[in-house]
Amino acid sequence: AQSVTQLDSHVSVSEGTPVLLRCNYSSSYSPSLFWYVQHPNKGLQLLLKYTSAATLVKGINGFEAEFKKSETSFHLTKPSAHMSDAAEYFCVVKAGSQGNLIFGKGTKLSVKP
Amino acid sequence: GAVVSQHPSRVICKSGTSVKIECRSLDFQATTMFWYRQFPKKSLMLMATSNEGSKATYEQGVEKDKFLINHASLTLSTLTVTSAHPEDSSFYICSARDLARGGEGTEAFFGQGTRLTVV
A106 touches chain B (CB under 8 A): yes
List, for residues A7-63, the tens digit of each pLDDT value. Answer: 999 999 999 999 999 999 988 777 889 999 988 766 788 899 888 778 999 999 999
pLDDT band at B96 (very low <50, low <70, confident <90, very high): confident
What pLDDT sits at residue B53?
82
Which has the minimum average pLDDT: A56-60, A65-69, A85-89, B97-101? B97-101
For A5, which residue in chain B has the nearest alpha carbon?
A: B43
Q: Which helix (H) or strand (E) holds A96?
A: none
Do residues B37 and A103 make contact, with C-beta atoms less than 8 angstroms apart? no
pLDDT the model gives residue B106: 61
Greatest Cα-to-Cα distance within chain B, rounded to the nearest angstrom: 43
Say how many C-beta atoms besides its own lie within 10 A of residue B28's C-beta: 18
Q: Which of B43, B52, B55 to mutate to test the interface with A (most CBs of A within 10 A)?
A: B43
Give yes or no for a cis peptide into B8 (omega within 30° of 0).
yes
Phi, psi of B94, rounded to the nearest 5 degrees: -110, 155
Tell me which residue in B43, B46, B111 faces A43 most closely, judged by beta carbons: B111
Among the partner residues B34, B91, B105, nearest to A100 by beta-carbon distance: B34
- CA-to-CA distance for B40 and A51, rounded, in angstroms? 30
The Cα–Cα gap between B22 and B93 comes to 10
Q: Does B105 score more than 60 pLDDT?
A: no
* B69-88: pLDDT as tens digits: 998 888 999 999 999 999 99
Inspect the interface and report whether the beta carbons of B108 and A49 lie closer than 8 Å: no
Residue numbers in A near B93 (CB within 8 A): 43-44
Residue B108 confidence (pLDDT): 75
| For residues B99-111, average pLDDT | 66
Q: Does residue B104 carry a pLDDT above 60? A: no
Per-residue model confidence as pLDDT tens digits over B26-66? 888 888 899 999 877 677 888 998 888 888 999 999 999 99
Q: Which of A6, A8, A41, A44 to mutate to test the interface with B (most CBs of B within 10 A)?
A: A44
A89-105 average pLDDT score: 80
Q: Regarding predicted confidence, which is higher, B113 or A111? A: A111
Q: pLDDT at residue B103 above 80? A: no
Mutate to test the interface with A, among B10, B110, B112, B116 (most CBs of A within 10 A): B110
